[in-house]
Amino acid sequence: MSYSLPGPKSKAIFERGLSTLRHGSRYTKAAAQSAAKGYLPPAQIIVDRAAGDFIWDSDGNRFIDFQNGWATNPLGNCHPEIIEAVHQAHQRYGYHWEHPLRAELAEKLVGIMPDSSLSRFSYEVSGTEAAESAIHLALCHKQRRYIISFTSCFHGEGLGTKMVSAYNSDNNKFMEGWAGGVIKAPYPYSENIPAGMTQEQYVEYCLWYLENHITDFITPADNIAAVIIEPGLAEGGNWIPSKDFIQGIRRICNNHDWLMIADEVLTGVGRTGKMWGIQHYDVTPDILVAGKNLSGGIEPCAGVAARDEILGDNPRATAGSTFAGTPAGCAAALKTLEIYQRDNIIDHAEKLGTIAQQRMANWQSQYGIVGEVRSLGLLLGVSFKAEKAQEEDFYIARSVRNHMLNHGVWAICDSEPTVRMYPALNMAEANLLEGLDIMEAAIAEIDNNGATVGDYPPLPSGNTGF
């Protein structure tokens, strides 16, 4: 199976977006830049329909879905039971703020939190809004000025979350003046460790920086409200923190009376093989941010759980919006959680995560272009490195992703030299293994023949991004 992408129908849709959609002219420039460096432009598709483990593009090509709505469809694409629950909610309630599903879902959510101390829930529409709400809660509860986040973190695309995020150096360009209340701390990556440190020494250094350098040279400890951390830094490259690091953050927060915020928008609701990613680390956050998987990929629903004294009465920390906790969003979340329990979804996700880990285990030793294989449940990533002097890490990764897409597997490679994969938590084992087989074939192809090529297909004249 091999496709030539984009197909003619997808290409025509790309061209329609040139003059009207955001980033309409970006693809042409990026493709030309790739060609100038000796690489193929990024392969593109337009989704025509989706069902279960698969999507079909506008030209009728079928793909195993490892992109998964950017990790938003935990039960696969277009789950019929969730669609029906949403339809019934629309028919019964339309849109109103005051409806009984708000209380019902909040009760369900606080019942599955990693600790009973997270006893209240506040609704938001998106993960971005929920992360901003959590930050505002922390600042107002502590009545302090600073939030600490980490390099390579991503917490959203709102004004506040852009300031907190640090997944690349361009993220806050031209907005530097807005970031006065954010301190960026180093994250202990498992690759490219500086100064000849071991991984354990790097973790120690990052914790030392958090507890000593910041409080000695940037701001006093009693001016810091909270530390926000993802139990898996997804957008920044699917980095998996060590247990020592997460437990060290909890210890430092306890020592200095800081709140610990776990951003579980991507890692939560089963993605890592546990209900919450933070449960891998045997700590309890003070605030937990939820989204994405929460409503089965059908209707927006997100929010924040926190201790009673933080969320019960915090009058300065206003949050929520018109469409926070809609009847349809709550209905989607309730049906999603019902299916999780009925079908043992998290157990299945944990099993699939182990299968994927075993399937990818020897790639780093077998292929010179593989930098590292990283996984936590079904949060999967493979980082790549260039072996030839004229090649670049990012283009190696994107070449692998292109080869995968042209052979029927849809994964993510955006700003990092990493191919990221988020299979549905209920994906059929055979589909997972077939997708990983195709990925390994792509790695072997690029490893053996390189990523540079000389023949280029005609470039589409426009696209909405890549």
CA atoms within 13 A on the CB side of 239: 25
Beta bridge partners of 418: 383
pLDDT at 463 exceeding the cut of 80: no
pLDDT score, position 389: 75
pLDDT score, position 23: 77
The answer to whether the CB of 408 falls within 8 A of the CB of 380 is no
Instruction: Name the pTM for this structure.
Output: 0.94
pLDDT digits (tens, 9 = 90+) for 185-229: 999 999 999 999 999 999 999 999 999 999 999 999 999 999 999
The answer to whether the CB of 61 falls within 8 A of the CB of 7 is yes
The answer to whether the CB of 370 falls within 8 A of the CB of 363 is yes
Query: Of the ranges 55-59, 165-169, 241-245, 355-359, which one carries the lowest mean pLDDT score?
Result: 165-169
Tell me how far apart the alpha carbons of residues 133 and 310 are, in angstroms, rounded to a whole number.
Answer: 12
Average of per-residue pLDDT across 169-186: 88
Average of per-residue pLDDT across 322-338: 97
pLDDT at 430 exceeding the cut of 60: yes
- The closest of 48, 68, 69, 70 to 57, measured between CA atoms, is 48
* Token pair belonging to 301: 């629903």
Assign 452 a pLDDT band (cuts: 50, 70, 90): low
Structural domains of the chain sorted by starting position, each given as residue range(s) with its CATH number in brackets? 8-71+345-449 (3.90.1150.10), 80-343 (3.40.640.10)
Beta bridge partners of 150: 185
Task: Provide φ and ψ at 379, rounded to 5°.
Answer: -95, 100
Task: Name which residue leads in pLDDT, 229 or 33.
Answer: 229
Query: Of the ranges 16-30, 189-203, 323-337, which one carries the lowest mean pLDDT score?
Result: 16-30
Average of per-residue pLDDT across 119-145: 96
Tell me how far apart the alpha carbons of residues 228 and 237 are, in angstroms, rounded to a whole number.
Answer: 17
316 burial type by CB count under 10 A (0-12 exposed, 13-18 middle, 19+ buried): exposed
- The closest of 112, 126, 104 to 334, measured between CA atoms, is 104
pLDDT digits (tens, 9 = 90+) for 40-92: 888 889 999 999 999 999 999 999 999 999 999 999 999 999 999 999 999 99
Average of per-residue pLDDT across 387-412: 93
Average of per-residue pLDDT across 251-255: 98
pLDDT at 311 exceeding the cut of 60: yes
If you average pLDDT over every residue of the chain, what do you get? 93
- Any residues with CB less than 8 A from the CB of 79 and at least 6 apart, and which? 73, 296, 297, 298, 339
Tell me how far apart the alpha carbons of residues 267 and 278 are, in angstroms, rounded to a whole number.
Answer: 8
pLDDT score, position 363: 98
pLDDT at 368 exceeding the cut of 70: yes
Average of per-residue pLDDT across 247-269: 98
